[in-house]
Amino acid sequence: SELSDCSPGWVPVSGGCLGFFPWELSWSRAEAFCRRFGSSTHLASVHSEEELQAVADLLFSRSGDASEEELDEEVWIGLHRPLRSRSWQWSDGTAVAYNSWHRASFTRRRACAALQDATGEPGTGA
């Protein structure tokens, strides 16, 4: 079944598998790292409260795997606003329909989204 097809270290969730990698990378480098696992692998996209909770649960369970130096307070997800674009999009191309995000002002033209803390509190970063 789809839920049992995850590689070791990945967590099965509805619609695929989630992985956690505790390295500090820019959003672009993190997305490129994910793509090394396959052309359909991306930073996580979140389309519902249940999916947000699955990501938060993974972060909470895996945060103990990282040393304090490796663990950042934020992790990238696939939500981003491309350069010179007014609209946000998921890196996997799916529609942005879930809108339970913290609104923030940005000083740069390009913005990305991150989850803050292992609690899964949504936030955005630039």
Provide the pLDDT for residue 15: 78
Q: Which regions of 44-85 does DSSP assign to beta strands (E)?
A: 74-81
What's the sign of the alpha-carbon dihedral 49, 6, 90, 75?
positive
Q: Which CATH class is domain 2-125?
A: alpha beta
The β-bridge partners of 77 are none
Residue-averaged pLDDT of the chain: 77
Q: What is the mean pLDDT of residues 93-115?
A: 69
> What b/e readout covers 44-70, taking b as 16+ CB neighbours within 10 angstroms?
bbbeeeebbebbbebbeebeeeeeeee
pTM of the predicted protein model: 0.74
- pLDDT tens per residue across span 25-68: 999 999 999 999 888 899 999 888 888 888 888 877 766 655 55
More confident residue, 9 or 123: 9
Provide the pLDDT for residue 3: 47
